């Protein structure tokens, strides 16, 4: 199944004095595509999950390879899919591509836990959210 | 003439612990609409102006009224027009609107100078850029 | 009475591609000195005011003059005092100085309202907080 | 040899709507301790390395475990040491500790390459910088 995709532009506020995206700014973009995916695929705004259903997804680990810098003004095609779907945790893959490139210029694997925001205990992934995430499973990741 | 307009979504990374946009983040959005306007209206990316033509627009003053907060997940219609066009300086007006509202929820007047990035001296607004800015003059601002 | 003062260093994460502090980052610094002032002068962490006493201070307007840029690695002496103390609002003055300079390189006047975070209604400044703010009144601001 | 250590306070601008540090903000703190280490141990500001010697240290990969959240107002003891010192690359370890805790609440291993900022080619670590980094070698990391 295809990954969820967003197109972004590298902003002045995101580049460092060398004119390339400052690496912490990538993670803000990763979060933005995550929000958009929930809103689009679940059919309700991500805020609804957070505020009304009181479910959070704190990141517990993330590993990132920065292969090719993104310069101010360039476009990034940012793809999100799921490489591991546990009972109470999810591992997402974030890949940022330069225009027309088949290989990701930045790639991250980030694991979140599903948290009940009232009790602050982990909880099983709710069925409707699990269904959305099943639709985002990566096809090209072997044992991940 | 109508203002230049962009639609934005209030991101998780932009809100504070009260769930509303942290006020410094508004200025990043103001800069983003400024970049988009240049790219769209001038017909070349803003980066071209900055990097190839070596022209910068540092902000020398900005006054902002925050009238109504923007909450996480809300949309903002962000409008940019020009309230004063000097020889070497420009005063922009930034107005952020909630969905369907006629009154701006946030409004800023910000003045930039036009800077030669090699000499770091102010310079007259180049003709092609002036033509774009003339097309953005606010109609409803009296003596500004 | 002297202003409250903090010393900061201009960080890599705060400068733009021209190597100077990106103007939205100044406001994050202004908020940091505001937090430190509360913690030091009130004798309890600012978080205590926010979380336990449920009092917030949203910014309703701010005007800023950027007179001289701050470059990466430079120090900033950031001074905070009070130019107007109302019943339910406070106008702070933020001034950033380069090393050994008598004139502020950046100066902002920002007004906050005092907000009951449960009712989201404005409220009178509590006495203990008013006493702290009285101790920060600017001496050199005439009619402000 | 002991790690280089900085103490930080979790700022309002760094926390999310749950009141804990938004994970991308950790990386800004990691960069800050990196800057301070260079300035203190090399005896010249980090800006000197970047601007005058034209040497950059772009991050090519980083893996991070977030074990315990940092709440608004908490202190973080941030320790930096070196777990691998190559010819043209360096792997740093960043560990953030809560007050009085022996186990790191956040831990990252990040690899940078040494870059000639004029040619944009990797270059061997200069001797004076290597000497500083040798003094930061972690003792408790076996084969890393």
Question: Is the pLDDT higher at A81 or at D43?
Answer: A81
Residue A141 resides in a domain: no
Residue B141 resides in a domain: no
Banded model confidence at residue B5, pLDDT cuts 50, 70, 90: very high
Per-residue pLDDT tens for B14-56? 999 888 999 999 999 999 999 999 989 988 888 889 889 999 9
| 3 state SS for chain B | CCCEEEEEECCHHHECCCCEECHHHHHHHHHHHHHHHHHHHHCCCHHHHHHHCCEECCEEEEEEEECCCCECCCEEEEEEEEEEECCCEEEEEEEEECCCCCCCCEEEEEEEECEECCCCEECCCCHHHHHHHHCCECCCCCCC
Question: Is the pLDDT higher at B31 or at C143?
Answer: B31
In this complex, is the C-beta atom of D13 within 8 Å of any C-beta atom belonging to chain A?
no
D-chain residues within 8 Å CB-CB of A17? 50
Per-residue pLDDT tens for A11-54? 999 999 888 999 999 999 999 999 999 989 998 888 889 889 99
Tokens at residue A87, please? 């009972």
Per-residue pLDDT tens for C4-43? 999 999 999 999 988 899 999 999 999 999 999 998 999 8
C-chain residues within 8 Å CB-CB of B64? 61-63
Average pLDDT over residues A75-102: 97
What's the pTM? 0.93
Q: Which of A8, A20, A47, A70 to mutate to test the interface with B (most CBs of B within 10 A)?
A: A47
Residue B139 resides in a domain: no
Question: How much is the pLDDT for A144?
Answer: 42
Give Cβ neighbours of residue D44 (< 8 Å, ≥ 6 apart): none
Question: Distance between CA atoms of C43 and B111, rounded to whole angstroms?
Answer: 39
Question: How much is the pLDDT for A143?
Answer: 46
Question: How much is the pLDDT for B144?
Answer: 42
Backbone angle region of D120, left / alpha / beta, with phi > 0 → left and psi within -120 to 50 → alpha: left
Per-residue pLDDT 10s for chain D (144 aa) are 689 999 999 999 999 988 899 999 999 999 999 999 998 998 888 888 988 999 999 999 999 999 999 999 999 999 999 999 999 999 999 999 999 999 999 999 999 999 999 998 999 999 999 999 999 999 876 544
Query: Among candidates B104, B13, B115, which has minimal Cα distance to C66?
Result: B115
Per-residue pLDDT tens for B63-118? 999 999 999 999 999 999 999 999 999 999 999 999 999 999 999 999 999 999 99
Q: Do C12 and D19 touch (CB under 8 A)?
A: no
Residue B123 is part of a domain; what is its CATH number?
Answer: 3.10.129.10
D-chain residues within 8 Å CB-CB of A66? 58-61
C-chain residues within 8 Å CB-CB of D6? none
Query: Which domain, by its residues, includes A113?
Result: 4-134
The enclosing H or E element of D8 equals: strand D4-9
Residue B2 has pLDDT above 90, yes or no: no
Residue D54 resides in a domain: yes
Residue C71 resides in a domain: yes
Q: Do B46 and A12 touch (CB under 8 A)?
A: yes
If one counts the domains in chain C, the total is: 1
Question: How much is the pLDDT for B143?
Answer: 46
Alpha-carbon distance A86 to nearest alpha carbon in chain C (angstroms)? 35
Question: How much is the pLDDT for D108?
Answer: 98
Question: How much is the pLDDT for B24?
Answer: 97
- Please name the residue of chain A whose CA is at the shortest distance from the CA of residue B71: A47
Average pLDDT score over chain B:
93
Question: How much is the pLDDT for D17?
Answer: 86
Q: Do C15 and A16 touch (CB under 8 A)?
A: yes
A-chain residues within 8 Å CB-CB of D117? 18
- Please name the residue of chain B whose CA is at the shortest distance from the CA of residue C20: B58
Residue C109 resides in a domain: yes
Residue C143 resides in a domain: no
Q: Which of B10, B15, B16, B26 to mutate to test the interface with D (most CBs of D within 10 A)?
A: B16
Residue A144 resides in a domain: no
Question: How much is the pLDDT for A1?
Answer: 67
| Number of other residues whose CB lies within 10 A of the CB of residue B36 | 18
Average pLDDT score over chain A:
93
- Please name the residue of chain C whose CA is at the shortest distance from the CA of residue A19: C17
CB pairs B-D closer than 8 Å: 25
Q: Which of B24, B32, B33, B34 to mutate to test the interface with A (most CBs of A within 10 A)?
A: B32
Average pLDDT over residues B1-9: 90
| 3 state SS for C55-124 | EECCEEEEEEEECCCCECCCEEEEEEEEEEECCCEEEEEEEEECCCCCCCCEEEEEEEECEECCCCEECC
| Number of other residues whose CB lies within 10 A of the CB of residue C92 | 27
Q: Do B11 and A35 touch (CB under 8 A)?
A: yes
Question: How much is the pLDDT for A18?
Answer: 86
């Amino acid at each position: 199944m295809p990954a969820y995709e967003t197109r972004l532009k590298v902003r002045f506020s995101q580049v460092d004095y060398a004119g390339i995206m400052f690496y912490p700014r990538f993670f803000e973009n990763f979060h933005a595509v995550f929000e958009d995916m929930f809103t689009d695929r679940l059919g309700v705004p991500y805020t609804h999950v957070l505020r009304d259903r009181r479910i959070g997804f704190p990141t517990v680990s993330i590993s990132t390879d920065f292969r090719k810098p993104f310069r101010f003004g360039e476009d990034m095609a940012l793809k999100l899919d799921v490489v591991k779907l546990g009972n109470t945790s999810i591992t997402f893959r974030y890949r940022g591509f330069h225009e027309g490139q088949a290989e990701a210029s930045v790639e991250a694997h980030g694991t979140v836990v599903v948290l009940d925001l009232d009790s602050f205990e982990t909880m099983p992934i709710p069925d409707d959210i699990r269904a959305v995430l099943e639709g985002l499973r990566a096809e090209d990741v072997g044992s991940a």
